[in-house]
Amino acid sequence: MRHLAIIGSGPAGYYTAEAAQKAFGDDVHIDIIDRLPVPYGLIRFGVAPDHQSIKNVSRRYEKVALTDNVRFVGNVSVGDDISIAELQELYDAVILATGAPNDRTLEIPGSELDGVIGSAAFVGWYNGHPDFTELNPPLDGKNVVVVGNGNVALDVARILAKTETEFAGSDIVGHALEALKASNVEKITLLGRRGPHQIAMTPKELGELGKLTRACPRINPDDMPDEGDDAMLEPGMRKSVTHLRAYAAIPEEYRADKSVEIDFDFFAMPVEIQGDGKVEAVVVEETELDTDMRSNGTGNRTTIPCDMLISCIGYRTPPIEGVPYEHGRGRFASDEGRIMPGLYCVGWARRGPTGTIGTNRPDGYAIADMIAEDIGNGAGKQGREGLDALLKSRGTDLVTFRDWKNIEQAEIGRARDGAPREKFVDVEDMIKARGVM
Ligand SMILES: Cc1cc2nc3c(=O)[nH]c(=O)nc-3n(C[C@H](O)[C@H](O)[C@H](O)COP(=O)(O)OP(=O)(O)OC[C@H]3O[C@@H](n4cnc5c(N)ncnc54)[C@H](O)[C@@H]3O)c2cc1C
């Protein structure tokens, strides 16, 4: 019997489990350990609450979770409740699928001011992540600046711009819905260091901005490259740019009944955040692109009002004691996922925060192949029995998949009308809810 411990129950964790089941059949026991009592990582806490069809991928993970040789071990934080060295003693392979949950910080003067928020925190707040329940983002001001030109920036802008009715059918948490209902935001500026041909926004998400009830995108037509140059783009990107061209052509009359503007400020980088204790303005420098499409400041600076700044500029994996780490890139150090025989990383913890949910699938399968090469038939380790004994001796209250299904039922039971669920937003409430059935 081979014993595998996968740390993290997001897409990378579940795809790795699926691949290991295929590789080893009945000759494997897999424990998927997560620091939270609820599974699925960013499927629950990252993917936007108004994108329920994307969240449905968790049904595939549930199939894996419900097979006999896979177990979910929630509410156990690796690095705190148990060390990597201890797990290596107990399991033939330990796989870090811990994602990249920490915001990369905007390293400019003023970034410590109140009202400057990273997207992990803001997204975690509206998705009910227990770490960010108390965030209380300042929504009383008119101007929000969102730094970044990727899909996370689009999610953030869309969530800020939607009316209550547009959240029907979503699982946005109650505290966020109430706060957004009372929001005074009128202008959301998306700052991008480069231009329309360099965005990392996909067509579907970009297209949604053109269909909002009270909000309308604005793009300066002078920022758009010559239309003939679009032919050089790959098809998905060309489609995204087509949306930008349509937004640049929106006539002023159309904006008359729109109370929120989403302004794409291309070729613009924040260089300073100003304010007395809290953010009040952002100094923005115009940029131009060199022949390698890198952006360079031109020295032309303007100051824009800002009551809240949300930076969507990437994420880092927190280090775990005893695991080699690439500080520059903010991820574990590995050779294609092999940290050393018996210790691996996968998904965002391996690659950094890039790619879609599906990108983690081949990652998981490649790691399972590596594990097969390295561990043979297993070395007679204790596996889950040893883990349970150790956690019991420490008084750790682990949460099982059956407990999670009870929590899920309780969340479904307390949903608003038309919503799929009302999530519990703190760990204690989740743990209490496991006993409801
Ligand atoms: C805001 C946002 C929106 C996104 N929207 C989309 C989308 O619409 N479509 C799409 O295809 N992709 C989307 N993505 C990307 C997608 O979510 C990622 O590709 C994917 O979640 C990465 O999977 P992962 O398993 O590596 O990490 P995660 O999903 O982050 O999972 C990591 C898991 O590890 C656990 N963990 C962390 N540290 C520990 C520890 N020390 N001990 C135990 N457990 C631990 C965490 O609790 C978590 O459950 C989005 C990403 C973000 C940030």
Contacting residues for 256 by C-beta, under 8 A, at least 6 apart: none
SS3 of 373, please? helix
Distance from the CA of 380 to the center of ligand 1, in angstroms? 32
| Ligand 1 atom closest to 44 (CA) | 29
Q: For the chain, give the percent of residues with pLDDT over 70.
A: 100
436 confidence band (pLDDT: 50, 70, 90): low
Please report, for residues 207, 230, 235, 245, the alpha-carbon distance to residue 225 in angstroms, rounded to integers and kept in the order given: 19, 8, 17, 10
The answer on pLDDT for 437 being more than 70 is no
Closest ligand 1 atom, residue 14 Cα: 25
**Which of 9, 47, 346 has the most ligand 1 atoms within 8 A of CB, as the residue to mutate?**
47
pLDDT at 69 over 80: yes
* pLDDT tens per residue across span 25-42: 999 999 999 999 999 999
Antiparallel, parallel or unpaired: β 331-332 and 143-147: unpaired
Task: Please state, in angstroms and as integers, the Cα–Cα distance from residue 26 to each residue in 245, 326, 330, following that order.
Answer: 54, 36, 36
Q: What are the tokens at 162?
A: 């939607």
Q: Of all protein residues, whose CA lies closest to atom 39 belonging to ligand 1?
A: 98
- Has residue 427 got a pLDDT over 80? yes
Percentage of residues in the chain having pLDDT higher than 90? 98
Ligand 1: centre distance to CA 44 (Å): 9
For residue 98, give the ligand 1 atom closest to its CA. Answer: 34
Mean pLDDT of all residues belonging to the chain: 96
Q: Which residues line ligand 1 (CB under 6 A)?
A: 7-13, 33-36, 41-42, 46-47, 51, 54, 77-79, 97-99, 101, 123, 152, 155, 347-349, 355-357, 360
**Token pair belonging to 91:** 């399991």
The answer to whether residue 167 scores a pLDDT higher than 60 is yes
Ligand 1 pocket test: pick from 18, 45, 98 the residue with the most ligand atoms within 8 Å of its Cβ.
98
Place 435 in a pLDDT band, splitting at 50, 70 and 90.
confident
Whether 297 contacts 253, CB under 8 Å = no
Residues with Cβ < 8 Å from 362, sequence gap 6 or more?
none
pLDDT at residue 362 in the model: 97
Average pLDDT over every residue of 246-275: 96
Ligand 1 site-directed mutation target among 122, 351, 357, 367, most atoms within 8 Å of CB: 357
Q: Find, among 420, 333, 351, 309, the residue nearest to 99 by Cα.
A: 351
CA of 275 to the centre of ligand 1 (A): 33
User: In the prediction, which pLDDT does 210 show?
Assistant: 96
